[in-house]
Structure 1
Amino acid sequence: MQAAAGVTGGCLCKAVTYRVSGALRPVIACHCSQCRKTSGHHVAATSAPRDSVVIAGNVIWYGSSDMAQRGFCGTCGSNLFWDGPGTHLSIFAGTLDGTTGLRLAGHIFCADKGDYYDIGGRLSCVDGADPDMTTQVIA
């Protein structure tokens, strides 16, 4: 299920806000070691076409790999975005305002998950990247 266009979101202190005019992809949980290190657990993210996202405020971008960067608020530290070289910007679902209409659709990098929790349920769980579920990083 995709969310309707026109959703908003932002960080905890409201120094960074954003508006998405395009449709959002269903939420995917990423259990990779980078997501676990930056969030303290796994990351639940949606994505939208980059040109449909308008960001207000000062996002600090950290180059987390050769192909991607992570955006966070420099004031409160909220993790907001993951950006790679594709057409979409990943948006951390917990930063969206209000009711989104989105649902969790699956899990990626399950082989890297922490040993202190189990992934239950009937959703897809793949050991690594899955191009059908995630933001494409190769244009």
Structure 2
Amino acid sequence: MSKDTSILKGSCLCGAVAFEVEPPLRDIISCHCTQCQKSSGHYFAATAATKDALHFTQDRGLKWFKSSNWAERGFCMECGANMFWRRPNHDMVSILAGSLDGDTGLKTVRHIFVADKKDYYDIADGLPQFDSFPEEMKKQ
């Protein structure tokens, strides 16, 4: 979790979705699943916060897409930027780290769904790797 107590701001590329998020934020988890690859063109690097900590200052472009039986993804329908991932009936929402403005004070702590990663890159940072969704994350 982030130790910083500052509110972070973020947005999509065009500004049709903008937000503020109150700490604490979870450190970054990189997800290499097929859905993240298909929706972003690579893998996701995301933090997370409680749904109550996320406040939209602009949401005219925000659209949620039900990407599976257990999750949905938030994106800007004007510029196409991927921004969020959430599970209905859970308190947390994942926020793609690249949508945050400036330095975050966060660090990458693990990789998930590495069994699905593509062959054109290596994961060589020495961080823990999981072939699927770790049990401990199902409680978050």
Q: Provide TM-score, normalisation by structure 1.
A: 0.92
8 Å CA contact 1:5–1:23 kept in 2: the answer is no
Question: How much has 1:131 moved relative to structure 2?
Answer: 3.9
The reply to whether residue 95 of structure 1 matches residue 96 of structure 2 is no
Of 73, 83, 86, 1:83 maps to 86
| Cα distance in 2, alignment partners of residues 80 and 4 from structure 1 | 22
The one-character-per-residue Cα deviations of 1:73-97 (angstroms, maximum 9, x if unpaired) are 0110000000103110000000001
- Structure 1 counterpart of 2:28, one-letter code: V
- Percent identity over the alignment is 46
> Following superposition, which runs of at least 4 residues in structure 1 exceed 6 angstroms of deviation?
none
In the alignment, structure 1 segments of 5+ residues that lack a partner are none
3-state DSSP of counterpart to 2:13: coil
2: CA distance, partners of 1:80 / 1:11: 7
Instruction: Figure out how many residues of one structure are paired with residues of the other and give that number.
Output: 136
Match of 1:65 in 2: 68
Cα RMSD of the aligned pairs, angstroms, is: 1.5
Shift of 1:5: 4.0
What pairs up with 1:1-139 in 2 under 5 angstroms? 1-2=1-2, 3-55=4-56, 56-58=58-60, 59-85=62-88, 86-132=90-136, 134=137, 136=138
Structure 2 counterpart of 1:49, which letter? Answer: T
Counterparts in 2 of 1:5 and 1:89: CA distance versus 1, 3 Å: farther
CA deviations on 1:96-127 (whole Å, 9 max, x unpaired) are 01110000001000000011111112100110
- Name structure 2 gaps, 5 residues minimum: none
